[in-house]
Structure 1
Amino acid sequence: MELSRPELFDFHGVSMAHYFTDSWDQVQNFKARSDDIMIATYPKAGTTWVSQILDLLYFGKSDPGRQTSVPIYDRVPFLELCIPNVHSGIESVEQMTLVPRIIKTHYPVQFVPKSFWEQNCKIIYVARNAKDNVVSYFHFDRMNMVEPEPGDWPSYLQRFQEGKLVFGSWYDHVKGWWEKKQTYANIHYMFYEDLIEDTAQEIEKICSFLNISPTQEEKDHVIKEVAFDTMKKNKMANYSTDVVMDFKISPFMRKGKVSDWKNHFTVAQNEQFDEVYQKKMANTTLRFRTEI
C-alpha cells in the first residue's frame, strides 16, 4: 500500500503529522468509561511491551487464542491514529467488546480527551531515557511510512532536542505527565529501564496499581511471553503484519536494550546533548538512567 510520508506541522503548540490529528474532534469528544485503561508514552518508550503485558494479564487466560490471532495494534488500539482505509483508532476502540478496554496514546498530557480525567481512568505512563529514546525513534521513523522522512542521524538528533518530531518535545512530554501525576492519583509512572532490569517486579507494581491478583503461574506466563526475543518473533506482537511499516529498512522491534545510544552518539554529540538536557530538565524532580 502506497502512503505518502507526511510533513511536520505545528498543532496547538506541538509538532504533529496529520495521521495523528485528522480525527482530532472525534478523539476530543471520545467518551471514556471508568474501567478503560490508557497506556501513554512518548513514541518508542515501551508502548507495545506494556500493551502486551496488560493484554496478557487481563485476557491471557480467558481468551488465549487472542494472543495468537489478533495483532497487538487491534488488541490495544492507538486512539489518535487515523489512516484512511487502514486504521482508525476511534473506530477500533468503539468496536471493542472485552472489558477493560486497553487503549494507547502518544499524546502529550494536555491533548488527552477530558473524559479520561472525568471518569478517573487508570493510566500507565512509560518513560524511557532520552538518549535511547531518540535512537529508537530514529530507526522507527526510517521504516514507518506514516512518519515524516527522518533524514540523517545528526540532523534527526538536533530536531529531537528542538522538539521537532511527531508528538513534539520528549522533554515536555515526560515532564508534563510527571507533573500531572502529582495531582492525579490514577497515573502509574514507570520507566523502561526498570522494566528491562526487573520485569517481574515491574509487573507486580502494575498488578498492584490495577488491583488485580493473577496467580504466580499466570505472572510467570506473562514474563515468558513478553521477553524481548519472544515478542520479536511473535507476528501478533512485532508489527510485521502492519502495512505501513517497511521491515526491509528496519524491524519494528530492534534491540530492546538500555545504552544502545553509545553505538550512535559521537563524543561531541553526547557532550552537546548533555548540555541541552541539563537546561531542559533543570526544573523537574524526574530522573532517568542511561545505563543499568
Structure 2
Amino acid sequence: MANPDQTETAAPPRPELFDFHGVSMTHYFTDNWDNVQNFQAKPDDILIATYPKAGTTWVCHMLDLLYFGKSSPKRGDSLPIYERVPFLEIYIPVFAPGVELAEKMTTSPRLIKTHFPVQFVPKSFWEQKCRIVYVARNAKDNAVSYFHFDRMNNGQPESGDWPSFLQRFQEGKMAWGSWYDHVKGWWEKKQAYPKLLYLHYEDLAEDMDREMDRVCSFLGLCPTEEERHQVKEEVQFDAMKKNSMTNYSTFSVMDFKISPFMRKGKVGDWKNHFTVYQNEQFDKEYQKKMMNTTVRFRTEI
C-alpha cells in the first residue's frame, strides 16, 4: 500500500558515478553538458561556486538578500532558493534545467550557483570577467555533511555506510570529484583571477559581520545598518532551517524522513562521526594531499 506521505512525483533512480574528463560525476550533471558549456554569461553575473555541502545555500541566500531583499522584501519567503539562484549544471528530468532557469532570469545581477571544479566552468564567465564567490569548508565537516546529504537525496549516488563513504571521499569518488582537487584548484585560480573572493565556512560561522563586510566590499555593496541586520537575522542557520524557501523541503528528490537538508551547520561536528583510527588515517592522507598548496583550513573554531 502506498505511503500517503509520499509526494506525487516519484523519485528518480539513484545515479551511478562515472569518470568524466577525469572527475567523478553523475549523468544528472553532465547530460546537458553542451548547453552548460555554451551558456552565455553577462558581465554583471555573479557565480557562487562550492564543493557540495560547503555553505552553498547559506551564501546564495545572503547574496540574494543583499541584492534584492530591499526591493522585494518577501522574495526570501516566497521564492525557493533554487529559483532565485539557479543551479547551472543540474539536469533532472522532473525539473527545469538549470541553464534554462538562468537564461530566463530578469534580475540584475543574475546570481548563479555551480559545484563545478574550476576547469569545468563555462568559458564565458572568464571572458566576461564575472565576479565569483567561492566557499570552502574543512574536509572533515564537509565529508560528514556530504554523507548525510547522500543518504537523503535520491538525486545522488547511494551513500553506503559511513566508513565506506569516508574511504570514497578520500579517494575523490564523489559527485564533482575530489574535495582536495576542488578547493586547491579554485585557490590557485584566485591567485591569477582578481575577481574571485575565496570564503571559508568556518570564518562565516565565527564572525558573520566580518565576512559580510568582505562580501560587500568585493561586490561594491553598501547596505544600511538596518539592511545588514535584516540579512544577518535571515541567514542564521535556525532561520534558514525553518524557512521552506531555503531548506529544500519543497524539492521532491530529498527524503526528509532520513535527514533534513539543513542538519546542524556546526563547525566540528566531525568529532561525532570520526573514530580515533579514522581521524589518524584521514590526517595522514590529508597531509600528503595538501602538501603543495597554501590554502589552510580550521577543523574547529
Name the TM-score, length of structure 1 as normaliser: 0.99
Deviations 1:102-149 (A, max 9, x none): 000000000000000000000000000000000000000000011000
The 8 Å contact of residues 11 and 252 in structure 2, kept in 1 or not, is answered as no
Deviations 1:33-85 (A, max 9, x none): 00000000000000000000000000001011211111001100100000113
* Matching residue of 1:21: 30
Deviations 1:261-290 (A, max 9, x none): 000000000000000000000000010000
Structure 2's unaligned 5+ residue stretches are: 1-9
Code of the residue aligned with 2:183 in structure 1: it is V
> How many residues are matched?
292
3-state SS, counterpart of residue 82 of structure 2: helix
The 8 Å contact of residues 46 and 132 in structure 2, kept in 1 or not, is answered as yes
Question: RMSD in angstroms over aligned alpha carbons?
Answer: 0.5
1:3 aligns with 2:3: no
* Matching residue of 2:5: none
Code of the residue aligned with 2:187 in structure 1: it is W
Percent identity among equivalent residues?
72
* Matching residue of 1:178: 187
3-state SS, counterpart of residue 87 of structure 1: coil
3-state SS, counterpart of residue 194 of structure 2: coil
Code of the residue aligned with 1:110 in structure 2: it is Q
Deviations 1:216-245 (A, max 9, x none): 110010000000000000000100000110
Q: 1:189 pairs with 173, 198, 214, which one? A: 198
* Matching residue of 1:44: 53
Shift of 1:86: 1.3
Shift of 1:153: 0.3
* Matching residue of 1:66: 75
* Matching residue of 1:97: 106
Q: Distance in 1 between matches of 2:39 and 2:174?
A: 25
Q: Distance in 2 between matches of 1:34 and 1:223?
A: 28
Code of the residue aligned with 2:211 in structure 1: it is E
Q: Distance in 2 between matches of 1:111 and 1:64?
A: 35
Q: Distance in 1 between matches of 2:113 and 2:87?
A: 5
Q: Distance in 2 between matches of 1:203 and 1:65?
A: 21
Code of the residue aligned with 2:154 in structure 1: it is M
Runs of 4+ in structure 1 deviating by more than 4 angstroms, as ranges, are: none
Q: Distance in 2 between matches of 1:27 and 1:153?
A: 33
1:203 aligns with 2:212: yes
* Matching residue of 2:295: 286
Q: 1:126 pairs with 130, 135, 140, which one? A: 135
Code of the residue aligned with 1:151 in structure 2: it is G
Q: Distance in 2 between matches of 1:64 and 1:142?
A: 34
3-state SS, counterpart of residue 83 of structure 1: coil
Shift of 1:87: 3.3
